[in-house]
Chains A and B, each alone.
Chain A
């Protein structure tokens, strides 16, 4: 049942991303190109997703636990630090260069397009590199 629920949420997400335009780099980049070929469509994606999630979470998180798990797994940190801001800034730069974000690219893999595969391989390489850096700095901190 857990796997079926996971699959269904992934499927709904994938259909949503597909019809929203988030998997289309031309549309994503045009959303940010206010000084050029501006296409404001993506504000409707973010707006629709945010309003629905904001209201839905209120009801869901009022329950003592999710259906198939003992507890909700929610991030608890609230401090702002350099990795969060620096990492997010880097993400923005990469998104502005390539036009794909992870949530757009993963469903887009289903189209089998070579551009999506190239982006995703590079994305995975970046994740591996960053994780290696994090391990390195963690072991240095331990040694010091």
Chain B
């Protein structure tokens, strides 16, 4: 499935992701990591701990709605894989980010920005593995 090259939109989106990470660090002193926020929501240490995580999640989910209200259309979501692949992939991602203590937002943006050796190693590892997996799925298995 072909997609259109969108350097400006993607750059703008990236800048907003960075701005959100800075804002969360400046106000609550926390890393903007989807994995950590979600995992903590499932087993919060207190009701105050649950509160800020739930508020962030609510904010995240409001994102596409605000985009729709301002631009008139929902952000594009094209899914070129089967339901089975979504479910298997999702389960593997869940195991991976729990053991790896983070994902693209926590390690790839916040951790890399702090020059954390763990985050740099994690990011290089998952980027390479994602590339290899996509190559195998598309060009070896031909899915």
Chain A interface residues toward B at CB < 8 A: 2-27, 29-30, 32-37, 39-42, 44-54, 56-57, 60-61, 63, 65-69, 71-75, 77-80, 83-111, 113, 115-116, 118-131, 134
Contact = CB atoms under 8 A, between A and B. Distances in A.
Contacts, number: 501
Q: Which of B13, B91, B139 is the most central at the interface, judged by chain A CB atoms within 10 Å of its CB? A: B13
Nearest to A86: B99
Contacts of B5: 39-41
The prevalent SS among residues of B at the interface is helix
A30 B52 CA distance: 34
A73 B17 CA distance: 19
27 contacts: A2-B52, A6-B53, A9-B59, A12-B16, A14-B59, A14-B62, A23-B75, A24-B77, A25-B77, A27-B3, A41-B10, A53-B22, A56-B19, A68-B27, A72-B25, A73-B31, A75-B31, A87-B101, A88-B121, A96-B89, A96-B132, A96-B134, A98-B86, A100-B86, A101-B104, A106-B57, A122-B93
Interface band, chain B = 35 or more
Interface string B1-34: 1111111111111111111111111111111111
A82 to B, nearest CB: 9
B70 to A, nearest CB: 9
A25 B13 contact: no
